[in-house]
Structure 1
Amino acid sequence: MQEDFLHYVWQHQYFDKAGLHTTGGEQITVLKPGMRNADAGPDFLNARLQLGEVEWNGAVEIHIRASDWHRHHHQHDPKYDQVVLHVVYEADQPVRRLDGSEVPALALAPRLAPELLRTYERLMAVPVLAEVLPCVPLLGGVPDITRISMAERALLERVEQKAAVVAELHQQLGQDWEATAYHALAAAFGFQKNSEPLARLAKALPLAIVRRHRHDARQLEALLFGQAGFLAETEETRTDAYLTGLRQEFEFLRHKYSLHGTALAAHEWNFLRMRPANFPPVRLAQLAAVLHARPALFDALLSAADVPTLLRFFQAPVAEYWRGHYRPGVPGKVPALGKSSMQVLITNVVVPLRVAYARHVGQPELVESAVALLSQLPAEHNSLTDAYAAQGFEHRTAADSQGLLALHRGYCAPRRCMQCAIGSRILQRNMAIR
């Protein structure tokens, strides 16, 4: 048993309240269970309880065993002096506040409905890697509206988490939205495996420098590939005239902007287990093309009315050399930035950027329009989303996909069933509270 189960039981008062009394024999009347506390301190705040003839306003602390109070060192923490009731599964010992007064305790073990416990234990008994959804054996009968609303809730949480990352980046960059768009876009062009080095490349090549040379595609490439560490002379590149020209251009610009010692090294990029079309030099060439063709990143990404407009934004032709080279000096026909990749960029850059901006300027209606973009994109298919779809979850658009991925990562994988509306519905349906 985990404490979050007892949190759930107390919050919803799912226990037998007939003849409710403390372990010391005082009668208990729960007038208000309190509000869950997400910060340090007792689990529930502002509870109202009547113990005997006295009404108390204070906090409620919850543990599996009463002795956990000492294991967690609450006896030395003044924040726990406000606790008026210690709710436990097993009252194995009394506990006291800093002043020595005993904290009244309520033992829930004899008051939980057996069916509620059995259902909870079934949820927790599924091996971690056995099922994407721990609740699969119990999922039948959960209404579609519950599944849809929970997936939508998880989607909004996921979008807000991504927007929070953008907002933090915005703060770090002196509240410059154009610079924020540049850094976010650069990192996203790494497509997971090379996101981190591309984020560092954006720091190594500030937007102020990019702005001065974005009109000249050759200079822009020289700066990006040079700072990325891809212009060092090798056996493969020594006789390559195009790269020699970029190298000479970069040497001049590196000296001009004092970029010595800030460049990445070629070995910091990931090529292993990747299709050539995803190789870092390919993505870097595509990023260079976008930066060259779209001089006002943030305004364009913010004002685009729909997905087709955003797709056109990313359709910037790369230099001819990079259409025929997967990496410097290595020839091969390279496809253009694919539609599916553009859709990933919209999901991971445009939507969070718009939500972060909406929160910053206090325009919540922009959040809704930003999230609505995901409904214009096709659903993503992978082993996780397909597993949910097989269980009857709606999966038609990218909004559905993002919601299902968020549901898995935020609730199913860490077994946060008690915080999930679906898990809550299963417990409500299968219990018989006395």
Structure 2
Amino acid sequence: MQEDLLHFIWRLNKLPTDGLYTVNREQVVILSPGTHNHLAGPDFFNANLELDGQLWAGNVEMHLKSSDWYAHHHETDENYNNVILHVVWKDDVAVFRKDGSQIPTLELSHYVSTALLERYQQLMEKSKSTFINCEKDFKHIDAFLVENWLHRLYIERLEQKSNLIMDLLRQSQNDWEAVLFVLLAKNFGSKVNGAYFLDRAKALDFSVVRKVSQDAHQLESLFFGHFGLLADVDCSDAYFISLRTEYEYLTAKFGLATCSGKPEFFGLRPANFPTIRLAQLAKLYARDAQLFSKLMQAATVEELYKVLEVGVGSYWDTHFTFGKASRQTKKMLSKTIMDLLIINTIVPLRFCYAKHLDRDWNEDLIGLVSNLAPEANSILKNFEKIGSKTKNAMESQAKLELFNNYCSKNKCLRCAMGVHLLNRNT
């Protein structure tokens, strides 16, 4: 059993309407359960109760055992001085506030229905071969409920992604173009090099990118050098030598710090090599000086594709790495990569930018992401196996949020679908 069950019981009033008593036989009447608090502090704020006919207003704290009060050191924490009721599954010790006064304790194990406990046990019993706890019931849940919950989960995912954006804005003194560059670099790096590209992009003063962006050769040399692809390479290729020479000049001119790391090639298909991704990123910035404004103003997915549709310089048409020629191919950004850039960079940035300008963002952004194909990964394949087909990128993002932050953490009672399943027939 988890404390989430106690929260569920209290929040949705799954207790008898009369005949409730504390362990010291004080009659309890719940007038209002209060506001559920998911942050630090008591579990419910501003509850209203009657204890033996006396009206109380304050906070409610919940634990599986009364002694958890002391295990969590609440007796010394002033934030818990306004707790008017301690709600527990099992009472094993009296609890006191910091000022020494005893807190009334309600022991739920005497009052919860057997039907609810059986339903909870069925929901939470997960075998090793199970994808998610509710997989047998998932496809039978009301479609309207699922649709609304997925919509909320997508907004939740956007809000989480906005945390990085807000941090970057603070670091760059609200330079939105610099933030766009860092986010693009991160996502051009994909899963393998994303974290490394993010760190290197944050370490590059974007004013230098602005100053050299009109010279494609300088921009390429800056990117390849700063991201660690020009050091410790034994290559006599004329193009490589010219890049390294140019980067040495830029390093001296702008006082650039030496890069000690380098990106990974292992496990990547040649089209996804960091050399190709950086060549495409350089081409994008060399081609378009108004990149941020165009990406913020594009009204449709097709307009975004036109902005992002970019290839590489002529050298990379016949190379995947420095000094090793290959069959000539046009290495354009694929639709899949552009979709991922829209999902992970452009839409979250537009979400934050619209809020910054105090503009309505909901309809436009939901429309954009709903017109993109869903991502393809093992999590979404498993959802399809249990009867939940993913229609678009908004749903795929929402399901990733659902699995990663609810299902895999057994937070069923914080999930609208889990609450629905537990709430029926009880």
TM-score, structure 2 length as denominator? 0.96
SS in 2 for 1:413: helix
- Post-superposition offset of 1:234: 3.4
| 1:394 CA displacement | 4.6
The question of whether the paired residues in 1 share the 8 Å contact of 2:276 and 2:312 is answered with no
Equivalent position of 1:52 in the other structure:
52
Q: Kindly indicate whether residue 215 of structure 2 is the aligned counterpart of residue 221 of structure 1.
A: no
Helix, strand or coil at the partner of 2:296: helix
Deviation of 1:210 (Å): 1.1
- Whether the aligned pair in 2 keeps the contact of 1:34 and 1:44 (CA below 8 Å) is yes
Does residue 116 of structure 1 match 2:112? Answer: no
1:222-261 mapped onto 2 (5 Å cutoff): 222-232=221-231, 234-235=233-234, 237-238=235-236, 240-259=237-256, 261=257
* 3-state SS, counterpart of residue 19 of structure 1: coil
Q: Is the 8 A contact 1:182 1:297 kept in 2?
A: no
2:138 touches 2:387 (CA, 8 Å); kept in 1? no
Q: Does 1:65 align with 2:61?
A: no
**Aligned counterparts of 1:207 and 1:164: Cα–Cα separation in 2:** 20
316-325 vs 82-91, greater mean Cα deviation: 316-325
Q: Residue 131 of structure 2: SS of its match in structure 1?
A: coil
Query: Does the CA-based 8 Å contact 1:124-1:415 persist in structure 2?
Result: yes
1:383 and 2:382 aligned: no
Q: Give CA-to-partner distance per residue, 1:136-182, whole Å, 9 cap, x none.
A: 13436421112211111111101111122212211211001111111
Look up the equivalent residue of 1:404 and give its one-letter code: K
Of 326, 347, 360, the residue aligned with 1:332 is 326
In structure 2, distance between residues paired with 1:379 and 1:99:
56
Number of equivalent positions: 424
Judge conservation of contact 1:86–1:104 (CA < 8 Å) in 2.
yes
State the distance in 2 between where 1:303 and 1:338 align.
22
Q: Secondary structure at the match of 2:409?
A: coil
Which residue of the partner structure matches residue 373 of structure 1? 368
**Structure 2: distance between partners of 1:382 and 1:148:** 21
Deviation at residue 264 of structure 1 after TM alignment: 4.2
Q: What whole-Å deviation, never above 9, does each CA across 1:279-327 have from its counterpart, x for those lacking one?
A: 1111110100101111122101101111111111111231011122112
Note if contact 1:87-1:108 (Cα within 8 Å) is conserved in structure 2: yes
- Secondary structure of 2:404 counterpart: helix
Letter in 2 for 1:189: F
Structure-2 separation of matches of 1:52 and 1:392: 51
Unaligned 5+ runs, structure 1: none
- Displacement after TM superposition at 1:233 (Å): 5.8
Residue in 2 that maps onto 1:92: 92
Q: Which residues in structure 2 correspond to 1:12-411 (within 5 Å)?
A: 12-127=12-127, 130-139=129-138, 141-232=140-231, 234-235=233-234, 237-238=235-236, 240-259=237-256, 261-266=257-262, 269-333=263-327, 335-363=331-359, 365-411=360-406
Q: Quick check: 2:284–2:308 contact (8 Å CA) kept in 1? A: yes
SS in structure 1 at match of 2:63: strand
Q: Name the SS for the 2:406 alignment partner.
A: helix
The answer on whether the counterparts of 1:351 and 1:371 sit within 8 Å (CA) in structure 2 is no
Counterpart amino acid of residue 401 in structure 2: A
Q: String of CA shifts for 1:94-114, please: whole Å, max 9, x gaps.
A: 111122221111111021111
- Say which is worse superposed, 292-301 or 389-398, in terms of deviation: 389-398
Structure 1 residue 205, shift from structure 2 partner: 2.9
Give the 3 Å change call, closer, same or farther, for CA 68–232 of structure 1 in structure 2. closer
The 1-side partners of 2:48 and 2:107 are apart by: 18
SS of 2:320 mapped into structure 1: strand
Q: Secondary structure at the match of 2:136?
A: helix
Secondary structure of 1:99 counterpart? coil
Q: What's the secondary structure of 1:175's corresponding residue?
A: coil
**Aligned Cα root-mean-square deviation (Å):** 1.6
In structure 1, give the amino acid aligned to 2:156.
Answer: E
Larger RCO, structure (CA 8 Å, separation 6 or more): 1
Q: Distance in 2 between matches of 1:271 and 1:57?
A: 61
Give 1:213 deviation, angstroms: 1.3
Structure 2 unaligned blocks of 5 or more: none
Question: Per-residue displacement from partner, 1:191-238 (whole Å, max 9, x unpaired)?
Answer: 121112212222343221111111111111111111222223634x12
- Tell me, in whole angstroms, the C-alpha distance in 1 between the residues paired with 2:91 and 2:139: 36
Distance across 2 between alignment mates of 1:35 and 1:265: 49
Could you list the per-position Cα deviations for residues 318-361 of structure 1 after superposition, in whole angstroms to 9, with x for gaps in the alignment?
A: 10111221121222245321110011001011100000111212
- Other structure's SS at 1:137 match: coil
Return the TM-score normalized by structure 1. 0.94
Displacement of 1:368 after TM fit? 3.0
Query: SS of the residue aligned with 1:270?
Result: coil
SS in 2 for 1:194: helix
Q: CA contact under 8 A between 1:58 and 1:83: conserved in structure 2? A: yes
SS at match of 1:57: strand
Conservation of the 8 A alpha-carbon contact between 1:411 and 1:419: yes
Aligned partner letter, 1:180: V
Q: Is the 8 A contact 1:220 1:292 kept in 2?
A: yes
Identity score, percent: 38
Supply the distance in 2 between the matched residues of 1:398 and 1:429 (Cα, whole angstroms): 31
Structure 2 residue 416 is the aligned partner of structure 1 residue 421 = yes
What is the DSSP-based 3-state SS (H/G/I as helix, E as strand, rest coil) of the residue aligned with 1:31?
Answer: strand
